[in-house]
Amino acid sequence: MTREAVIVDVIRTPVGRGKPGGQLSGIHPVDLLAGVLNALVDRNDLDPGLVDDVIGGCVSQVGEQSYNIVRNAVLAAGFPETVPGTTIDRQCGSSQQAATFAAQAIMAGQADIVVACGVESMSRVPLGSSAAGADPYGSRVRERYPEGLVNQGVSAELIAEKWGFSREQLDEFAARSHALAAAAGESGAFATEVVPVPGVDALVDETVRPATTVDSLAGLNPAFRTDRLAERFPELDWRITPGNSSPLTDGASAALIMSAEAAERLGLAPRARFRAFSVVGSDPLYMLTGVIPATAKVLDRAGLTHDDIDAYEVNEAFASVPLAWLADTGADAAKLNPRGGAIALGHALGSSGTRLLTTLVNQLEATGGRYGLQTMCEGGGMANATVIERV
């Protein structure tokens, strides 16, 4: 008989700009994640020796984020040496996949208590540095895609062109993200999810810009156009800018996941339960469209429709992604990223999946909603989706 996997707690650090001088840039990523692990067990008065496994996401697993950063963070947090840890890479969905693996282990009866987490310090370990200047694809991928694959920004441009989104529509969505995130911050909506970072005084999300408007975004230049790419894709008029993209970000987040029986035994109240999961592959040229079939698949597995969902978290890697998702799913736009998304709150790659889960659980609790759905586009053409139910 399948056991129920429940979410007991979800937390995150404040967001830091992923550049030198950002509020978290002085913190080693191992220490950043360790602080979140400490906060998670302390908040729940949990003996860390009871944790069966710690599964975490990190994308750029090189340098300070190499050598199994999650295991290193477990040790840095002072957990007993008997507590294991492993680091996974499903690109931007790494920590969402970590939560899925954690819940599946519990549902299968192979674990009772698992921490799912993620971390990325983009100020200290820059995006793309894990390739170390080498070819990550090899000859057979190049043979399959002889014209070559492209970076995510170009994929976002291709999506904007295919779905017909204007520059103004993209900028309007970006301004919405900042306005919603700023309103949530000012209202104290993030107070229950953001935990202090040792050595950092601020508890603000550094990438949120409350004054952002469509007019202020209109002056930004396209971020991904080159002469070579313009020649290859003459249909593009290059609408993706730093303003309608997610910023480089530092951050860490974590979820305490248990069997319902373990939570009851420990006297801990579940906040939500996992209802369904999906993961899909998609066209690696367009790369970011997998959120659409992943959503359909997870709803089918959960036996739900869009009418049942009270809140969505669709990662705002670029504005064209959630806009394409809205256009194809027909979901209620008012339920989408109601506290703002990654355009404002940042996209600390390995941490984003559990960051979205953190915000989704808190949104359901604040509004009395029952079902939430999160989905994440991923490098290489993939996407994860998860449905949770508030308890």
Of the residues 58, 117, 178, 347, only one is catalytic, namely 347
Of the residues 58, 92, 117, 178, only one is catalytic, namely 92
Q: Give the alpha-carbon dihedral of 351, 353, 356, 361, to 10 degrees.
A: -110
Task: Assess contact for 97 and 353: CB atoms under 8 A.
Answer: yes
Q: What is the 3-class SS of 1-59, one letter each residue?
A: CCCCEEEEEEEECCCEECCCCCCCCCCCHHHHHHHHHHHHHHHCCCCHHHCCEEEEECC
Task: Assess contact for 353 and 241: CB atoms under 8 A.
Answer: no
Q: What is the distance of C-alpha 262 from the center of its chain?
A: 27
Neighbouring C-beta atoms of residue 272, cutoff 10 Å: 24
58 given a catalytic annotation = no
Beta strand segments in 97-137, E: 113-121
* Residue 94, both tokens: 């790494």
Q: How far apart are CA 391 and CA 388, in angstroms?
A: 9
What is the b/e burial string over 330-351, where b = at least 16 CB atoms within 10 angstroms of the residue's CB? ebeeebbbbbbbbbbbbbbbbb
Task: Assess contact for 161 and 286: CB atoms under 8 A.
Answer: no
Of the residues 58, 117, 178, 377, only one is catalytic, namely 377
Task: Assess contact for 217 and 174: CB atoms under 8 A.
Answer: yes
Task: Assess contact for 35 and 252: CB atoms under 8 A.
Answer: yes
117 given a catalytic annotation = no
* Residue numbers annotated as active site: 92, 347, 377
